[in-house]
Chains A and B, each alone.
Chain A
Amino acid sequence: MSLRNSYKPGEWINRAKEINFTFEGEAFTAFEGDTISSALWAAGQKVLGRSFKYHRPRGVLSLANHDVNILMTDGTDTNMRADVVEVKDGMTLQAVNTIGGVKKDKNNYIDSISPLLPVGFYYKAFHTPRKLFPFWEHMIRKAAGLGIVNFDYPRILKRKLHTHCDLLIIGAGPSGLTAACKAASAGLQVTLIDENRHLGGSLSYDHGGHKVSAEYGEDLLKKIESLPNITVRVGAYAAGYYPDHFIPIVETGGITKVRAKAVIVASGAFEQPPVFRYNDLPGVMLGSAAQRLIYRYGVKPCHNGIVFTANDYGYRVALDLLAAGANVLAVVDLRAGGNGGLHNLELCKRGVKIYAGHCVYEAVATSDKSKVRGAVICAYDDKNNVALTDNKFTVDCDGIVMSAGWAPAAALLYQAGTAMQFDYDVQQFVPSRLLDGIFAAGKVNGIFELDQRMRDGERAANDALNYLGKLAVNTNAEKHSGGAPSHAYAMVPHPKGKNFVDFDEDIQIKDFENAAKEGFDNIELMKRFTTVGMGPSQGKHSNMNAIRILAKIRGLPVEKIGTTTSRPFFHPTPMGHLGGRGFHPHRLTSLHDWHEAHGAVFTDIGAWKRAAYYPQFGQTKADAIQAEAMAVRKSAGLIDVSSLGKIEVHGPAAAEFLERFFTGKYANQKIGTWRYTLLLDEAGVVVDDGVASRVADDLFYLSIGTANAAMVYREMQRCQQEWRLDIGLVNVTGAFGAINIAGPAAREILSSLTELDLSTEAFPLGHFRETTVANVPTKVIRASFVSDMAYELHSPMRQVPQLWNALMDAGKQKGLRAFGSDTQRLLRLEMGHTIPGIDTDGLTNPYEIGAEWVIKMDKPYFVGQRSLSILSKRPLRKQLVAFTLAANFKGEVPLECNLVIDSGEIAGRVTSISYSKFIDRIIGFAYVAPAKKAVGSSFDIRTDNGLLVAATVVATPFFQLQEA
């Protein structure tokens, strides 16, 4: 039988547009604007989902985005919250976490064995014998979890925006709306957000049978619309509060990150269920849920209902039920004196029976246990919180509507460092101390009466205006008067239990009692042991009751129990929103297109894409590298080294800075020469090496390896912060590109493009010159990293292609070819040069790699010097040596990081190894015991497959092997 009422103004559905969808194979019609839950409820479908643990049938509870037992899948998406997700034409829906659908869930037997599954049961069983645990774990994992993940779900990239405002107001109920009007009228740029799809908050549903509140709402909305400096975002929730008023606003389309000057939290309160046996049956719902059904969706919550209340709010709800055409068979008020004021009188006048000092002892289920068919009512001792069952009686009904109180939606306040205290007049935690620029208004602030809430919103706006330095009249804080909106302990004990506190996790009163008896009598421990509040609704309907129960068990006042820590997110937030567009920054050199056109295989080094090698005509990687290396050895090769870090150190103290930063000496370095640089950390560990070219007395030009460049520059800045020398650091990595031309023909090729005298006498190793090459201004550095005959050419990044092409043309006849960074690694190995990070690790000191020659201990200070003065006196534990395998070695070639084994123990490892076609040997570096470091001694390397391969220590460069 349809529960849909006729049209009422203000409703959120569009009756002109019918929507057809199916739920578990059955066809339904709805109106545009219906949520899945409202549509199904209107059609009389009461079982909408099954609970997580016991698979009990569940229906509408809150209709406020925490009905997490009602999760759906449409075949594409899963864990869709039916209470807030709008139903769409053509949807085919299925509840998650059932076997065979909500009505005949094959897992419903779990409910009947629930005594076997007490709180924390999984800690107490399944672990002995140990062998069987994997079996039980498999069963438990299968039974747990909610929806099934759709592996074909597309990656959705949601947009992200940043925005600023003077005042962010979270929640557009009466207090938030009033605050927005006030603040915007005073000239502030206001952003007003609400998670619902329309403004108004409780103004849109809490009418108490009359439409007074709706009229307030209309006035406020008109005013909001008329103020141009209010940005309204509906369907938008504040996902969390991060320091300095940084708040991500989540909407369907993406995330907007708001940095506000001030924030008003007017997020309202979550209605809390009273706890009684079978309070989870479909048909038992919160008062505010019933009101939402009535006024937003035009749906009658039930035909014949009972209101079970523990505050005055329930009387308003009862009047709303009557207004919706439902019969209210009884209002059962837990409070000894009852009340409800004028609403009580009105209900009496309309013939509604009111039972003060009574409780719903239990809900009665239909024979198929699928929904409520009655309520057992009896007297209640409100002092001792016990039901007096002597004269209990049953009333047949198809709905029980509950109002017991509220918990503030204070998550953001907590995250913003707000101190909260328990206000016994309101029976609620309220803010007692707010950090600068944060304000609270309305129910979250413990203010419940409508006029008061609006005044409280205005007061918060005034406070914000004052805080922002605008003139505003201070208004007094509102104070709640009258009965508490929340009952101190709306729980009805029942010997048979099933009185649920946490619907997400099926946690009953006795679970808390048992947990406390077992020692988990502290709110944080209790949360972890019982899992209360750990489900997807994050305790929105359960944490407050848990605190009250624990307080009662321990005989302590509620504020002594405290609350658990609130953490983002306010509502679970999709990864696609948070992840947004993936951000993978990478850098390309100005020659990138050339490399691509010439078939380069790229490798990532730091943020850079570098050409690793250029396979020709289906060459393998190894063949390509050997061919490129041979070209360098026989004629010449060209490599793009633009990714090198390049840093200029300017200023009178430039040399002093270098002397402190690196291990070597630079004060006496001649202009026009370069020196090797070695960087250590304070522990004396090798960090990086490079080259320092002295351009002028007060200017050094540093080149740094690609991988470490960013880190070294950061470290230089850090040191300069401490040292405060008279220097400036300029990172010119992106401004200059660099090319290295290497090989016996390099000089001849280069000299055809420059006026510079390249003869050894005029331009020896260790020098650099500034000149033009192919009309490109170029710094030529005579370095020998990959070959004794090599020139590193540094030029403005944009002109590097011109230089490169000119060199290529000039070298064509000489057999010049490009080589990549992988080939470079082979070439430097042949030369006997180490690379920090490859041939060193996080503990390598310079003595272990034979770098004593660049350590100048007679300087007053350099980074790591103090450590070296200690280390230099200690025996070495390992030593890096150059080695070769036997000529014509056949067998399993060791790989980098295979271990060096000495008498069955680890002595070191291989750091670099490669076959060199030019030398025709397998060569490499390895750490060995210092006793084995002499040239000619041999050691064993263990391969992946456990074979020991003999290696012999040799001198570098490795070319001597060729001559031998």
Chain B
Amino acid sequence: MPFRLLKYALKKEHPAPRFFKAHEMPKKSYDVVIIGGGGHGLAAAYYLAKDHGISNVAVLEKGYIGGGNTGRNTAIVRSNYLTPEGVNFYDASVKIYEGLSEELDLNLFYSTRGHFTLAHTESAMRTMRWRAEVNKHVGVESRVVGPDEIAKACPQLDLSCSGQAPILGALFHAPGSIARHDGVAWGYARGADSYGAEIYQNTEVLSIDVKNGKVCGVQTNKGYIETKQVLSAVAGFTPRITEMVGLETPIVIHPLQACVTEPMKPWLDTILVSGSLHVYVSQSSRGELVMGSSLDPYEVHSTRSTLDFVEGLTSHMLDMFPFLSNVKVVRQWAGMADMTPDFAPIMGKTPIEGFYLDAGWGTWGFKATPISGKTMAQTIANDSAPDLIHTFRLSRFEDYELTGEKGAASVGH
């Protein structure tokens, strides 16, 4: 049993100090205001202070921290993307994640399980090879494997998928991991708070004050805050925020659903994704199967759940694992995904001076939390986006320089 638990147990007064302070009302002004207290916003606040010494920062959260897509995703972290720019970016994220528990001194249960993207058709195999080759090129450990290797990693998987969609092979991505998603938000919140950033929950931004093309403040339900720099790090509500500054983005909102089973003893040690069957699944450290599927096919601004989602998903799960017939689904839920045309995020500066965007995270935001926080902090501190996120700039939609992650981002969040 680790020493620190023993120390903790022997203490009379248990509680550690608050993860983050509870401030009553925001100050009159801040150097930077971050809209959105999810993983991304909190990470940006953390790195602004840690890397750039900017700690006069307010993070404004409409609900509670980590309550949006940070707490709704299926917690998969990977970097097996399709474009070199995408792979490099997500790989940088994976690298930070690997040391993040130590850095934040909070166990995020970052668990490297290996990630298989199953291919059931020749055309899927082609895409797997493409991704593997690009990944290898930039030094990320991904390769195309045959059914034997899949069977070795997951002997319970029915390789014929009940005869419906025989598995021809897979893209194996060794660094594929899962993590406790809430912990990521809490850890960054504690970190940012310790440097002096202020976190306000139940604080909603009502408008953003722009004069002569420059940000000068935000109006909130807790009063007006002066600031010259605003970062929008929200999900599911980006269009509402960009409207406030008169900015247009090609973001549309689709729900993304997920569900979880009762806990069972560990048996699934890898992360499995099937594009053809629209399934991704891993087993949490508590023993639950955490499962998701592709986006709802239509735009809806809602976190409602649907029955046909869970019917379709479980039917395909049973194709893969017929013995789960009597394992029970406890809960289903949904998040709202900001979708972009090329399935890549929108990051960096905007035509409005002092307004920065960290958006369009669709179904791939959790895995990018550390690196997006770091690079957005860099962008705000230097008023200039680093090369790593150049490819994700908003102007790419006018420049016709899209990033093309559709194939790698779609099902395999």
Measured CB to CB, the residues of A under 8 A from B are: 52, 77-79, 113, 115-118, 121-130, 133-134, 136-137, 140-142, 144-156, 240, 242-243, 246, 248, 257, 510, 513-514, 517-522, 524-525, 528-529, 536, 538, 565, 567-569, 572-576, 578-584, 603-604, 683-684, 837-838, 841-843, 867, 870-871, 874, 895-899, 906, 909, 942, 944
Chain A interface: which of B47-55, B218-226, B346-354, B401-409? Answer: B401-409
A446 to chain B, nearest CB (A): 26
Q: Is the CB of B65 within 8 A of A525?
A: yes
Task: Report Cα–Cα, A838/B124, bound state, in Å.
Answer: 11
Residues of chain B with a CB closer than 8 A to A521's CB: 22
| B3-19 vs A, Cβ < 8 Å mask (1 yes, 0 no) | 01110110000111111
New contact pairs (7) apart from A582-B315, A583-B315, CB-CB < 8 Å? A77-B326, A127-B108, A129-B102, A240-B305, A578-B315, A584-B165, A603-B122
Q: Is the CB of A683 within 8 A of B286?
A: no
Residues of chain B with a CB closer than 8 A to A137's CB: 109, 111, 285
Interchain CB contact (< 8 A) of B262 among A115, A567, A572, A576 = A572
Q: Is the CB of B201 within 8 A of A567?
A: no
Residues of chain A with a CB closer than 8 A to B19's CB: 518-520
Q: Is the CB of B22 within 8 A of A149?
A: no
Q: Is the CB of B67 within 8 A of A524?
A: yes
- Assess A145 versus B318: contact at CB under 8 Å? Given A524-B67, A870-B400: no
Interchain CB contact (< 8 A) of B265 among A146, A895, A906 = A146
> In chain B, what residue has the closest Cβ to A904?
B137
Q: Is the CB of A151 within 8 A of B67?
A: no
B263 interface hit (Cβ, 8 Å): yes
Residues of chain A with a CB closer than 8 A to B407's CB: 841-842
Chain A interface: which of B127-135, B363-371, B377-385? Answer: B127-135
Interchain CB contact (< 8 A) of B15 among A517, A568, A871 = A517
Q: Is the CB of B5 within 8 A of A125?
A: yes
Residues of chain B with a CB closer than 8 A to A944's CB: 129, 133, 144
> In chain B, what residue has the closest Cβ to A942?
B133
Q: Is the CB of A510 within 8 A of B14?
A: yes
Interchain CB contact (< 8 A) of A79 among B6, B264, B318 = B264
Q: Is the CB of B333 within 8 A of A528?
A: no
Task: Report Cα–Cα, A210/B14, bound state, in Å.
Answer: 50
B20 interface hit (Cβ, 8 Å): yes
Q: Classify the interface of chain A: helix, strand, loop or mixed.
A: loop
| B306-318 vs A, Cβ < 8 Å mask (1 yes, 0 no) | 1100111011111
Task: Report Cα–Cα, A158/B249, bound state, in Å.
Answer: 46
B162 interface hit (Cβ, 8 Å): yes
Interchain CB contact (< 8 A) of A116 among B9, B133, B325 = B9
Task: Report Cα–Cα, A567/B259, bound state, in Å.
Answer: 10
Q: Is the CB of B307 within 8 A of A897?
A: no
Q: Is the CB of B122 within 8 A of A79?
A: no
Q: Is the CB of B265 within 8 A of A867?
A: no
B279 to chain A, nearest CB (A): 11
> In chain B, what residue has the closest Cβ to A97?
B265
Interchain CB contact (< 8 A) of A576 among B67, B162, B264, B326 = B326
Q: Is the CB of B330 within 8 A of A572?
A: yes
Query: What 3 pairs across the A-B complex have the smallest Cβ distances?
Result: A145-B287, A576-B325, A572-B328
Task: Report Cα–Cα, A56/B258, bound state, in Å.
Answer: 32
CB-contacts of B87-130 with A (<8 A): 98-99, 101-102, 105-112, 121-123, 126-127, 129-130
Q: Is the CB of A684 within 8 A of B201?
A: no
CB-contacts of B50-99 with A (<8 A): 63-67, 71, 84, 98-99
Task: Report Cα–Cα, A151/B165, bound state, in Å.
Answer: 20
Interchain CB contact (< 8 A) of B99 among A130, A134, A528 = A130
Q: Is the CB of A899 within 8 A of B328?
A: no
Interchain CB contact (< 8 A) of B400 among A155, A248, A582, A874 = A874
Query: Interface extent on B, as a size class?
Result: 35 or more
CB-contacts of B315-332 with A (<8 A): 315-319, 322-332
Residues of chain B with a CB closer than 8 A to A871's CB: 400
- Assess A843 versus B404: contact at CB under 8 Å? Given A130-B99, A518-B19, A604-B121: yes
Residues of chain A with a CB closer than 8 A to B196's CB: none
- Assess A147 versus B315: contact at CB under 8 Å? Given A510-B14, A842-B342, A898-B129: no
| B329-361 vs A, Cβ < 8 Å mask (1 yes, 0 no) | 111110000000110000000000000000000
Instruction: Write 11 A-B pairs (CB below 8 A) sorted by A numbering.
Output: A116-B1, A124-B106, A137-B111, A144-B266, A153-B326, A568-B331, A574-B328, A579-B316, A579-B318, A841-B407, A842-B406
B156 interface hit (Cβ, 8 Å): yes
Task: Report Cα–Cα, A226/B206, bound state, in Å.
Answer: 59
> In chain A, what residue has the closest Cβ to B144?
A944
Interchain CB contact (< 8 A) of A528 among B109, B122, B182, B404 = B182
Task: Report Cα–Cα, A896/B263, bound state, in Å.
Answer: 42
Residues of chain A with a CB closer than 8 A to B107's CB: 122-127, 133
Residues of chain B with a CB closer than 8 A to A151's CB: 156, 267, 323
Residues of chain A with a CB closer than 8 A to B110's CB: 133
Task: Report Cα–Cα, A59/B156, bound state, in Å.
Answer: 34
- Assess A121 versus B5: contact at CB under 8 Å? Given A148-B264, A568-B331: yes
A372 to chain B, nearest CB (A): 27
| B390-413 vs A, Cβ < 8 Å mask (1 yes, 0 no) | 000000000010101011000000
CB-contacts of B135-151 with A (<8 A): 137, 144
Interchain CB contact (< 8 A) of A538 among B287, B315, B330 = B330
B211 interface hit (Cβ, 8 Å): no
- Assess A113 versus B1: contact at CB under 8 Å? Given A118-B9, A579-B315: yes
Residues of chain A with a CB closer than 8 A to B328's CB: 79, 536, 572-575
Q: Is the CB of A79 within 8 A of B262?
A: yes
Interchain CB contact (< 8 A) of B5 among A124, A538, A579 = A124
Residues of chain A with a CB closer than 8 A to B164's CB: 582, 584
Residues of chain A with a CB closer than 8 A to B17's CB: 518
Task: Report Cα–Cα, A518/B126, bound state, in Å.
Answer: 50
Residues of chain A with a CB closer than 8 A to B292's CB: none
B264 to chain A, nearest CB (A): 5
Residues of chain A with a CB closer than 8 A to B317's CB: 575, 579
Q: Is the CB of B287 within 8 A of A144?
A: yes
B27 interface hit (Cβ, 8 Å): no
Task: Report Cα–Cα, A146/B122, bound state, in Å.
Answer: 39
Q: Is the CB of A153 within 8 A of B323?
A: yes
Residues of chain A with a CB closer than 8 A to B4's CB: 124-125
